[in-house]
Structure formats: structure tokens, C-alpha cells
Amino acid sequence: MAKGRKSRSPKGKTVTLKMAQNCTKMTLDGKRRLDLSFKELATVPKCIQKLCSVDELDLSRNLIREIPNFIENFANITVLDLHSNYLEGIPVTIGRLHNLQVLNLCNNRLTSLPSELGLLKKLHTLNLGLNQLESLPGSIGALKELRHIGLSDNLFTRVPACLSRMNKLEKVNLDRNPISESTPSCESVMTTKRLYLVTENCLCEDCLSRYQFFLTSLSSALVCAHKQSTGSEAQNVRKNRGLRRSLFTTSLS
């Protein structure tokens, strides 16, 4: 019986432990960075588990379709760069990278994200642009340290509601998404203020003394400003009177 021809997927190149070690460099701020970008990798090399003590891991611009569960062994990394691959999903074990501060998943094939992303409490930059996302897991709202999130070139039809729960969020990029004009803009989500009115008896002694000092200082400043304003007006009046007298005298002579 004739054998059928199997379809071939990109095999990619192989990286040995020695090659990976040679790709470990020190950054300008003293961090150990394992840079395996542009290596035509179709899979994440198992050998790099022996280098799991690095501070930053760059696997960008490869042919990787899947992130293995052993990514959780890189517990110390603060930066994980996976952009420009062929990822269709992210393992739930990514939620165990508790020191992660920057996560770049831009330019992949992601259609959904695991709720475990909400466990990355130190994350301040998350790039999800150029994917196929229609929504974000609600757990993203638990990322209280997040300051920048990139969501451009996806399939969002509305601004994700979870963004309004991020008090430190400074920048949201939702460019080139099919968002309806009737939905709130990302600017309105980011500029939402929460104001709470309390009576003096709700304040502790320290806060109350600070509040009273503020009121006293404000009152003194207003009185001083009023006196200066009044003094200036009086001077202007005297100058105007003197000018009128001078003009009157000149016209008589």
C-alpha cells in the first residue's frame, strides 16, 4: 500500500545549551538577558530550562506556535518578549511568573487569553496588539500596577470594561479596532475619577490635623491675595487720580 505524503510544518532550527549560553548577555542596567530572537525556532528549546535564573527572556521573531508549561520555571524573569511568532494560546502556567513586569505578546494569532494573567500583580506593560482578540478576561482588571496596555489591530467592538478598574493606567492603544462610536472611548475610561465625601469625625487624628492645617493655610493665602489685590487697586486709583489732575492742569495752562 502506498504511503501518503505527510504535510510538513516548519521544522525550525535547533539550539543547544551552549548556543543558548552564548546568547545570554548583560543589559545596561545589570540584568541577565537570554536573547533567542531571530533564531528560526519552531519550538522553545527544552535546554533553556537550565538557564531559568535569567532576568529577561526574549523569544521574539521566531516560528513558535506553543509556549511549553515549563515556562513557569523562569520565576525570576521581569521581561518576557514573545512578539512576532505564531502563538494561538498562552498556557495557564504563565500566571506563576509573579515577578513579571513587561509582557509582549504582540503580532501573534491569539483569540483568547487565560484568566491567570490576572495573577501577574507586578505587571506594568502588556502588549497584545496585532492579534485576533475580541475581549479580555475580567481578571485583567486585577492588574493594579498596569500602566500601559496595547490592544491595537484586534477585533474589539467595545472598550473592555475591566480597564476602568486599573487606577494607575496611563496609556491604552485601541487603534484600528472595529469599535462602535456609541461606546465609551478609552480616554473616558482612563479619566474616570472616584470621589468620596467624608465628615470630619470619619478622619483619624493625624488626617484631621492635616486637613485643618490645609484649611488654615488656604485661608491665609486667600486673605493675603485679597490684600495684595486691594492694594494694587488702590494704587491704580491714586495713579489715575494723579494723571487726571495732571491733564486738567495742563489743559488750563
Contact between 63 and 41 under an 8 Å Cβ cutoff? The reply is yes
Nearest in space to 32 (alpha carbons), one of 85, 91, 74, 89: 74
- Any idea which architecture 17-190 has in CATH? Alpha-Beta Horseshoe (3.80)
Which of 11-20, 38-47, 218-227, 237-246 has the lowest average pLDDT? 237-246
Nearest in space to 64 (alpha carbons), one of 23, 1, 9: 9
> Using one digit for the tens of pLDDT, what is the confidence trace for 181-212?
765 555 555 444 333 334 455 556 665 566 56
According to the model, what pLDDT value does residue 91 have? Answer: 97
Contact between 179 and 158 under an 8 Å Cβ cutoff? The reply is yes
Q: Where are the domains of the chain?
A: 17-190, 200-252
> Using one digit for the tens of pLDDT, what is the confidence trace for 100-157?
999 999 999 999 999 999 999 999 999 999 999 999 999 999 999 999 999 999 999 9
More confident residue, 239 or 95: 95
